[in-house]
Chains A and B, each alone.
Chain A
């Protein structure tokens, strides 16, 4: 079954190459891309199922024995992140099918989108730290081009900014990789973990931990490295924005979890304390930023920045329960946020200038009862109101906080959760409840609502029937609590 790991990466990558051949037949290209997205999604579900049945799956590329060749590893942590990301990417492709933006009709849109998805899955599944760098760069370059060709003409400015800043992240990643290779003479994460667990730890390895941490924090836009995120995400086309702001930022989270549970376990306490502080600052910075912003898409980008803070708090508490809470939070947040972004996209596609500025879309949705309902459900899900999945993630996190007795952080986080309700409801009222200005002109039809409907249904389902996800998160935490399992699966004995 471990061939399925290849499927999640190479189905989108192959479809990207093939769809370039159909550059003139846009319909064929789009359906091919969507089918590839669904194929990758099915593969990732298969990987998760195989994992639950028989432990971590390993695929050795080219059949080389492990410390020498490149290895793809799917343990439960990687599988759950992959299921989450392929779901959102497939939904984004479905949205692109019914999207009226000009950028979607470019022949390069679909190949780039698929490359982004392939890079995402590759970064999650690789067991080799240099291949991680390659896949992250694939993802970054594809997303940068997608933002640069966005309908929003300021996308170019954001793309230049992000390309330069993310290159600095890459620089840190490469220095970290170099330092690790100089210390241990291997690039396989499991091998590095084995050597770190057995021997003493030289100063160079600890420096590498700091470098890798900087790179991952930059990728997920945590407090000191966040300044590129609202610009870059706001100017992206809607289908791309829904993927960037929900799952691409989670790659950094995944890297951080790997760093503290697999490789640098002895330093984990120190790193976790740092993440706790950065997480609380991110929560407040992001939530308050979302409150004062002037653009509905930008508000959701700031909100992502705040919600990442909640996940970091979960990781920072460090107890198994808190880590499970962070995972549940990460999965639920992805679905809610991508659904909300797509709904905002359909609203802004009805305005003449395709803008999401609050001053111009006020009242646009007054007659759209169905869209209004979807946005309302998404909004209260993000704020954490029962019976939706946002409530489940907040509850697991609060339970963990009570269990580890982190009262100060818990109080701050719950307090900031109220700000979420405030900014979501304010925007909902502004868009859907207000009388439109007399000079506001709207188009009769916007983008298709099919993809956000499915995602909201998923949110509702995960809220009403939450036990499977929480059980799964607990199993993930139990598995990553024993790094020996991962190391043995990769190195074989």
Chain B
């Protein structure tokens, strides 16, 4: 399970980086989101495989099983909210810039260099 998860996370990172480096801004935005999903996988892998039962506090818990780590899940929730906000902002910028500069190619949006 752990090995599979590591491979999956690695593939996600590779896909995200590849997509981020494309010349089309929409594909870049997709890469951005894939990369942040990969980060969420990584944060999950940090603590998710430690416990055997769910992480809520149960006074009648008689089993000796170790509860899983709730903190990583809190971290992932926060990271999802923030990355989703950035992603929404990025797509909004792409919409406006496609109207203003008449292109979504990164080659066309280079007026600052002049």
Interface residues of A (CB under 8 A from B): 130, 134, 137, 141, 144-145, 148, 153-154, 156-160, 163-164, 167, 171, 174-175, 177-178, 181-182, 185, 187, 231, 234-235
Task: Say yes or no: B112 contacts A157, CB within 8 Å.
Answer: yes
State A160–B97 Cα separation when bound (angstroms): 9
* Chain B nearest Cβ from A210, distance in angstroms: 16
Contact A134/B82 with A160-B25, A160-B93, A175-B39 known, Cβ cut-off 8 Å:
yes
Q: Which residue of A lies closest to B39 (CB)?
A: A174
Q: List 14 A-B contacts (CB under 8 A).
A: A134-B82, A137-B86, A141-B89, A144-B89, A154-B111, A156-B97, A156-B100, A157-B110, A159-B93, A160-B109, A178-B42, A178-B46, A181-B71, A182-B47
* Chain B nearest Cβ from A456, distance in angstroms: 30
Interface residues of B (CB under 8 A from A): 20, 25, 28, 32, 35-36, 39, 42-43, 46-47, 71-72, 75, 78-79, 82, 85-86, 89-90, 93-94, 96-97, 100-101, 109-112
Q: Which residue of A lies closest to B28 (CB)?
A: A164
Enumerate the 3 nearest inter-chain pairs by beta-carbon distance, A residue then B residue, closest first: A182-B46, A231-B112, A178-B46
A residues less than 8 Å from B101 (CB atoms): 157
State A444–B90 Cα separation when bound (angstroms): 39
* Chain B nearest Cβ from A428, distance in angstroms: 25
B residues less than 8 Å from A175 (CB atoms): 39, 42
Contact A174/B43 with A141-B89, A145-B89, A167-B86 known, Cβ cut-off 8 Å:
yes
A residues less than 8 Å from B35 (CB atoms): 167, 171
Q: Which residue of B lies closest to A183 (CB)?
A: B46
Query: Given A137-B86, A154-B112, A160-B97, 20 other A-B contacts at CB below 8 A?
Result: A141-B89, A145-B89, A148-B93, A156-B93, A157-B101, A157-B110, A160-B94, A163-B90, A164-B20, A164-B90, A167-B36, A171-B35, A171-B36, A174-B43, A174-B79, A177-B75, A178-B39, A181-B47, A181-B75, A185-B47
Contact A157/B43 with A141-B89, A164-B28, A167-B86 known, Cβ cut-off 8 Å:
no
Task: Say yes or no: B75 contacts A163, CB within 8 Å.
Answer: no
State A130–B82 Cα separation when bound (angstroms): 12
Q: Which residue of A lies closest to B72 (CB)?
A: A181
Task: Say yes or no: A157 contacts B82, CB within 8 Å.
Answer: no
State A80–B86 Cα separation when bound (angstroms): 31
Task: Say yes or no: B32 contacts A167, CB within 8 Å.
Answer: yes
A residues less than 8 Å from B20 (CB atoms): 164
Contact A130/B32 with A137-B82, A160-B109, A163-B89 known, Cβ cut-off 8 Å:
no
* Chain B nearest Cβ from A175, distance in angstroms: 7
State A159–B89 Cα separation when bound (angstroms): 10
* Chain B nearest Cβ from A29, distance in angstroms: 22
Q: Which residue of B lies closest to A166 (CB)?
A: B86
State A148–B78 Cα separation when bound (angstroms): 25
State A158–B43 Cα separation when bound (angstroms): 30
A residues less than 8 Å from B79 (CB atoms): 174
A residues less than 8 Å from B75 (CB atoms): 130, 177, 181
State A32–B109 Cα separation when bound (angstroms): 38
B residues less than 8 Å from A178 (CB atoms): 39, 42-43, 46
State A181–B71 Cα separation when bound (angstroms): 10
State A144–B47 Cα separation when bound (angstroms): 33
B residues less than 8 Å from A234 (CB atoms): 112
Task: Say yes or no: A235 contacts B112, CB within 8 Å.
Answer: yes
State A92–B96 Cα separation when bound (angstroms): 28
B residues less than 8 Å from A134 (CB atoms): 78, 82
A residues less than 8 Å from B25 (CB atoms): 160
* Chain B nearest Cβ from A72, distance in angstroms: 17
- Other-chain residue from A160, A171, A235 in contact with B90 (beta carbon distance below 8 A): A160
* Chain A nearest Cβ from B89, distance in angstroms: 7
State A171–B101 Cα separation when bound (angstroms): 29
Task: Say yes or no: B89 contacts A181, CB within 8 Å.
Answer: no
B residues less than 8 Å from A145 (CB atoms): 89
* Chain B nearest Cβ from A128, distance in angstroms: 11
B residues less than 8 Å from A177 (CB atoms): 43, 75
Q: Which residue of B lies closest to A157 (CB)?
A: B109
State A448–B100 Cα separation when bound (angstroms): 32
* Chain B nearest Cβ from A159, distance in angstroms: 6
B residues less than 8 Å from A181 (CB atoms): 43, 46-47, 71-72, 75
State A159–B46 Cα separation when bound (angstroms): 33
Task: Say yes or no: A141 contacts B78, CB within 8 Å.
Answer: no
State A181–B43 Cα separation when bound (angstroms): 9
Task: Say yes or no: B32 contacts A158, CB within 8 Å.
Answer: no
State A156–B101 Cα separation when bound (angstroms): 10
A residues less than 8 Å from B36 (CB atoms): 167, 171
State A148–B96 Cα separation when bound (angstroms): 10
State A164–B32 Cα separation when bound (angstroms): 8
> Which of A130, A137, A157, A234 gathers the greatest number of chain B CB atoms within 10 Å?
A157
* Chain B nearest Cβ from A133, distance in angstroms: 8
State A487–B78 Cα separation when bound (angstroms): 26
B residues less than 8 Å from A137 (CB atoms): 82, 86
